[in-house]
Amino acid sequence: LTADKYNVKRGNYSTINDDDLKEFNSILSSNQIITDSNDLIGFNQDWMKKYIGQSKLVLKPKTTDQISKILSYCNKRKLAIVPQGGNTGLVGGSVPVFDEIIISLSNLNKIRSFDEMSGILKLDSGVILENADNFLSEKGNIFPLDLGAKGSCFVGGNVATNAGGLRLLKYGSLHGSVLGLEVVLPDGTILDSMHSLRKDNTGYDLKQLFIGSEGSLGIITGVSILCPARPKSVNIAFLGLNSYESVKKCFQTARSDLSEILSAFEFMDHDSQLLAAKNLNSIHPLCQEDKIGIDSVPNYPFYVLIETSGSTKEHDDEKLEKFLEKVMENETVIDGTVSQDEAQLKTLWTWRESIAEASQQFGGVYKYDVSLPLDSMYSLVEAVQKRLNDLNLSSTTDNSKPVYEAVGYGHIGDGNLHLNVAVREYSKDVEKALEPFVYEFVAKHHGSISAEHGLGFQKKNYISYSKSEVEIKMIKDLKDHYDPNHILNPYKYI
Ligand code: FAD
Ligand code: 2HG
Ligand code: ZN
């Protein structure tokens, strides 16, 4: 079995036989086992429809104990496994490459406990992020992570990818807010470290190993996480700016003048707004005329979305107003609008959050998710645009050309750029033009080739652009030690 399109050979794993199915039937009930080819399609294909596997079996355990039994058996039989959460990952990590067994966490979906005094939430890893946040909202708390895929992704998937999201600027990374994990190791051992302690200096902080491990070291089954108080007052400003220099200046001013209430600072370039407008077919927030869709997008080269979150509305309103006065007066910002109510707030976020989806509306998308110093961040988008133009691969009008557009947007407050190259179809020519060009650019500027989406299948051959030989050896040693048969998520990560 060869995945020719990927240029990878199947590892020396066993193939599922009738005895294996008998064993899985003794652990799970029949409705937790999927073998029907139609039902398998959605599990085999990733969110971008870029990576498509050939698994013949999905298991949907309901308990940690069932997962432990499955892993113990698969390890002995050398059966390869892919852990799958909401399948919203963007690097091909959540779907099989060959016939790996998919273990879906979707049935492991209970809130375990919530402590109102400390804000510590304990939950199964298969709880959908938005469900967890809705639960917390009723308690007056907020999940310290929010992202565009919140309606589909699972908290276990978020931890496994160390997702960053839209408010990392305020709430920090999951490496800080996750207090404990329950994980099933590849041999079936259950590691129960569902702690509720903010401070614990007794030995290595083992949970950190699994945060961002992308299903390569164990299956996360439970998460203990610190959830802050839900802000009582939220404002959004959506601004138009004339240059990338102004975006940086605006961020600097926001950081100093909005300081403790600044909860998100996102930027979008003009073409990313065109993509969003085409997909949403609604009126751009800064449109002054009677127009819709792409015609409604004004001509500013850059847009910024600023969110403030605090506890006193008057205080936050006043602070935001003064900030806006300042940046408009000194012409850092040319145009803008401020959300007046909950519905407007959501609409403004849509023009940022929907770009990820909008970028694949023509057929496919090449996504790069990089950390770069702010000064050189946008120059990557310009360099890629130029490269595609030079190679005559870029065209917005000529249907015979494969590339549609290279756009840049992202979490500028975290130094994280998303470069999306929207295409009509996936092609080797475009891929060759982009890789390793993008990774070389990032390494040259001392950035990271993955700020938040991870390595998965897409970047497993490129880790050396961001990690040293010693670091890679330590990662490989850990993998070999805990998963000597390499049954967990093979062909990915390293
Ligand atoms: P999956 O896609 O199912 O899996 C992702 C990886 O984790 C795979 O390698 C899988 O094997 C592994 N995995 C999943 N569950 C487990 C588990 N329980 N135990 C062990 N391994 C597991 N990411 C960001 O960081 N910031 C963003 O702002 C952001 N926005 C997004 C917006 C959209 C519209 C989309 C589609 C994706 C976005 N992402 C973002 C990508 C992000 O990685 C995922 O949305 C999310 O964190 C993955 O969760 P999931 O449950 O879908 O995991
Ligand atoms: C976002 O910030 C996500 O919107 C997705 O991380 C980015 O699709 C992308 O490239
Ligand atoms: Zn992102």
Decide: helix, strand or coil at residue 101.
strand
- CATH code of 2-107, in short, is 3.30.43.10
In the predicted model, is pLDDT for residue 342 greater than 70? yes
How many angstroms separate the alpha carbon of residue 290 from the centre of ligand 1?
Answer: 39
- CATH code of 233-356, in short, is 3.30.70.2190
The preferred substitution site among 162, 418, 450 for testing ligand 2, maximizing ligand atoms within 8 Å of CB, is 418
How many angstroms separate the alpha carbon of residue 188 from the centre of ligand 3?
Answer: 33
- CATH code of 359-453, in short, is 3.30.70.2740
Q: Is 418 in the pocket of ligand 1 (CB under 6 A)?
A: no
pLDDT (mean) for 345-365: 95
Q: Is 356 in the pocket of ligand 2 (CB under 6 A)?
A: yes
- The DSSP output letter for 274 is H
Residue 340: per-residue pLDDT:
80
Q: How many CB atoms lie within 10 A of CB 76?
A: 13
State the pLDDT confidence band at 138, using cuts at 50, 70 and 90.
Answer: very high
Residue 71: per-residue pLDDT:
98
Q: Positive or negative, the Cα torsion across 93, 98, 100, 104?
A: positive
Bigger pLDDT: 5 vs 439: 439
CA distances from 145 to 114, 431, 481 (A): 17, 32, 31
Average pLDDT taken over every residue of the chain: 95
Contact yes or no for 177/208 (Cβ under 8 A): no
Decide: helix, strand or coil at residue 298.
coil
Instruction: Choose the weakest-confidence range: 157-171, 187-201, 310-324, 384-398.
Output: 384-398
Residue 395: per-residue pLDDT:
56
Residue 427: per-residue pLDDT:
83
pLDDT (mean) for 77-96: 98
Q: What is the pTM of this model?
A: 0.97
State the pLDDT confidence band at 398, using cuts at 50, 70 and 90.
Answer: low
Dump pLDDT digits (tens) for 18-27. Answer: 999 999 999 9
81-84 vs 101-104, strand pairing mode: parallel
Which element (helix H / strand E) includes 313? helix 313-329
The preferred substitution site among 153, 173, 489 for testing ligand 1, maximizing ligand atoms within 8 Å of CB, is 153
| Geometric angle at alpha carbon 232, from 230 and 236, rounded to 5° | 100
Residue 160: per-residue pLDDT:
98
Contact yes or no for 437/384 (Cβ under 8 A): yes
Q: Which residues, in sequence order, are bridge partners of residue 439?
A: none
Q: How many CB atoms lie within 10 A of CB 2?
A: 10
Q: Is 357 in the pocket of ligand 1 (CB under 6 A)?
A: yes
Report, in angstroms and rounded to the nearest whole number, the Rg of the chain calculated over CA atoms.
Answer: 23
In the predicted model, is pLDDT for residue 1 greater than 60? no
Q: Is 50 in the pocket of ligand 2 (CB under 6 A)?
A: no
Contact yes or no for 177/162 (Cβ under 8 A): no
Say which ligand is closest to the CA of 173. Answer: 1
Q: Is 422 in the pocket of ligand 2 (CB under 6 A)?
A: no
Instruction: Spell out the domain ranges in the chain.
Output: 2-107, 111-226, 233-356, 359-453
Those residues with Cβ within 8 angstroms of residue 89's Cβ, 6 or more apart along the chain or in another chain = 46, 47, 157, 161, 214, 453, 454, 456
| Cα–Cα nearest to 317, from 249, 361, 261, 396 | 261
Contact yes or no for 224/180 (Cβ under 8 A): yes
- Cα(33)–Cα(287) distance, rounded to whole angstroms? 51
Nearest residue (CA) to ligand 1, atom 45:
88
Residue 424: per-residue pLDDT:
86
Fold agreement (2-107, 233-356): no
User: Which structure tokens are listed for 237?
Assistant: 């400003």
Q: Is 89 in the pocket of ligand 1 (CB under 6 A)?
A: yes
- CATH code of 111-226, in short, is 3.30.465.10
How many angstroms separate the alpha carbon of residue 47 from the centre of ligand 2?
Answer: 12
